[in-house]
Amino acid sequence: MFDDDVEQGRSKSLGSSLSYGFEYAFNEDERKRTGCVFEFIPWGPSTPAVLRVMGDRENPDRYENFVGLSREYWVGLLNRAVENRPSYVGWDEDLHRSSGAAWFFRGLFEKYYPRRRCEESPAMRVTLAFAEAIVV
C-alpha cells in the first residue's frame, strides 16, 4: 500500500496534491469518470473512443452513466486531468505507474465503483462496459 501523508501538504504529498487539484478542477461526476479511466489503463487503452463506446447505446453492456458522452467530451476530460496533475508527475508513463498516482486513482475507483459479489455492482457494470468496448 502507498504510504502518503496528506498532512505534509500539496508541495510534499502527491496524494494531497492530486486530491486538491481534482477536488477543485472537477465536479463529482467528472471525478467519478476519471477514477474509471485510470482503473483500466493496465488492461488496455482508455482512449476517448473506447470511453465513448462504453456508453454507446449499441453496446449491450453499456455503462448508463456514460451514455451520450462524446469523444470530444472524453478528450476534454483527459486533457484537464493532465493539466491538473502535479508538475513533477509525467503523463504517459509516470501518472499511471507512479505508486502515489495509482493509489489516488485506485481510491477514486473504489469510492465510486464499490465491488460487490453480484453482476449489478457498479464495479462489475463499468468493467463489463469496458470489456465490451475494447473487443468491438
- Report the candidate in 14, 39, 31, 22 with the shortest Cα–Cα distance to residue 84: 22
The reported pLDDT for the residue numbered 66 is 93
Give 54's pLDDT tier (boundaries 50, 70, 90). Answer: very high
Question: What's the pLDDT at 1?
Answer: 37
Residue in this structure with the C-alpha cell 454507446, named with its chain if needed: 56
Look up the pTM and report it.
Answer: 0.72
More confident residue, 14 or 120: 120
d(CA 27, CA 106): 18
Contacts 24+ apart (CB under 8 A), 110-117: 111/35, 112/31, 112/32, 112/35, 112/36, 113/32, 113/35, 113/36, 113/39
Q: pLDDT value at position 41? A: 66
Give per-residue pLDDT as tens, 8-50.
444 445 566 666 667 777 899 988 888 887 777 666 566 888 8
Residue type, 44: G
Please write the tens of the pLDDT for every residue from 61-117: 999 999 999 999 998 988 887 776 654 444 444 445 555 566 777 888 888 888 777
Alpha-carbon span 48 to 91, nearest angstrom: 16
